[in-house]
Amino acid sequence: MSEYKVVEVTTRGDLNRFIQFPDDLYKDCPQYVPALHIDQRRSLTKVSTLKYCKRKMWLVLDGKKVVGRICGMINPRYNERFNTKRARFGWFDMIEDFEVAKLLISTAEQWAKSEGMTEIHGPLYYNTLGKQGMLIEGFENIPPFNCIYNFPYYKDFVEKLGFQKECDWIQYKMASTEKPAEKMYRIANMLKTRYNLHTGDIDKLKKDPAMVDKFFKTYNESFADTVYNFIPFTEEEIKEEAASMLGFVSSKTCTIVLDENNDLAGFGITLPSISKGLQKAKGHLFPFGWFHILKAMHTYETVDLMLNGATPKWQNTGVSAIFHCDMFDKLAKVGSKWAIANPQIETNGAVNVWDKYSNTELYMRRRCYIKPIE
């Protein structure tokens, strides 16, 4: 029987092994999409969220070999907003050995308890911007680049450790060659006429710092009361997200809806899938990873529906019909065949919009687990 040892990540070498481990674990898995190591390092050491969040990382070793990893996090802004004392876990990976999972979770729990926490949930990121939700259905599919992939035994291990479902997110796949129903186009045109709404050019918006800032602040407000467990972003987080996202955004596939004052009413952010490019890059930009990713960014056969929403003023008015129609018209022009929706909480009525498309299937289901800390 192996003699496992838990080691806290404190050195650069430990961090490198922490980042590298899932690439080794999933090297023979055709569905796994490696994250770029440079992005992982930034997320674990440099993002502004760490100015107010606490986090610790651990490895489980079998001799000198890494067999598991976990990150424990505490977001005080989340706990204050929802009046809880919860820790989070993420970056959770291990070989198929329950003892490794038990060591990882118990280590994170002990740390959380020492910090005064009474519950732990995950897998999550520090805030709502990162990867979250353990995959429990759709293991045969390749996830979008911003989503977790894990082996089926993860679910069995955490449930054996006493975790229960907190919530599920679901993702749909649909044929982007299928136009929205004529009724949706009629609704879109009626709303445009009645309220003087129109579609804008997101490429122009990108060049206006004030409009970019306004867009992300509006995005912040739009999801504050509609997205489960949402934590409004700080000014620094908004700037970071804008800097990381704008290079991918293009009017070829993205839509913004503006009112008569050119204020944002709704948006549909759709990106070419870069998952296969990341698979070829194998976690590294150099020597050729950048080429594979750049090529994927200009290939539209499969697209990821990243963000779709309406500003608070325009929610529940049907404005989504405008950006849905415009977005799917654009996808037809670039020759897209398939669209994969971002994870949406199963209890959010907005997921029902995908029922309006006939060629739609459940693509993945993800779960956030929770348990009391004993």
**Residue 59's CATH number:** 3.40.630.30
Please say if the pLDDT value at position 60 is more than 90: yes
Identify the band that residue 209 occupies on the pLDDT scale cut at 50, 70 and 90: confident
User: How far does CA 240 lie from the centroid of its chain?
Assistant: 15
- Is position 269 within any domain? yes
Residue 369 within a domain: no
Domain with 223 in it: 177-336
214-239 mean pLDDT: 81
Beta-carbon contacts of 229 under 8 Å, excluding residues fewer than 6 positions away, are 78, 82, 124, 128, 167, 368
Is 359 a member of any domain?
no
Residues 196, 114 share a domain: no
Can you give the pLDDT at residue 289?
Answer: 96
> Is there a single domain that holds both residue 209 and residue 77?
no
Express as a percent the part of the chain with pLDDT over 70: 97
Contact between residue 33 and residue 292 where contact means Cβ atoms under 8 Å apart: no
Cα 145 to Cα 133: distance, rounded to the nearest angstrom = 14
Q: Residue 60 forms beta bridges with which residues?
A: 6, 68
* 356 has a pLDDT exceeding 70: no
Higher per-residue confidence, 225 vs 40: 40
Per-residue pLDDT for 269 more than 60?
yes
- Across residues 27-44, what is the average pLDDT? 97
- Please give the DSSP secondary-structure letter assigned to residue 232: P
pLDDT category, 352, cuts 50, 70, 90? low
Number of domains forming the structure of the chain: 2
Rounded CA-CA distance 238/127 in Å is 12
pLDDT reported for residue 40: 97
pLDDT value at 320 more than 90: no
pLDDT at position 168 over 70 = yes
The per-residue pLDDT for range 114-135, each reduced to its tens digit, is 999 999 999 999 998 899 999 9
Task: Write down the H helix ranges in the chain.
Answer: 12-25, 37-45, 76-82, 98-114, 153-160, 182-195, 202-206, 209-223, 235-245, 275-281, 289-297, 320-333
Say yes or no: 205 and 316 in one domain. yes
Q: Is residue 74 over pLDDT 70?
A: yes
Using 50, 70 and 90 to split pLDDT, how confident is the model at 351? Answer: low
Q: Given this model, what pLDDT does residue 59 score?
A: 98
Q: Give yes or no for residue 1 having a pLDDT over 60.
A: no
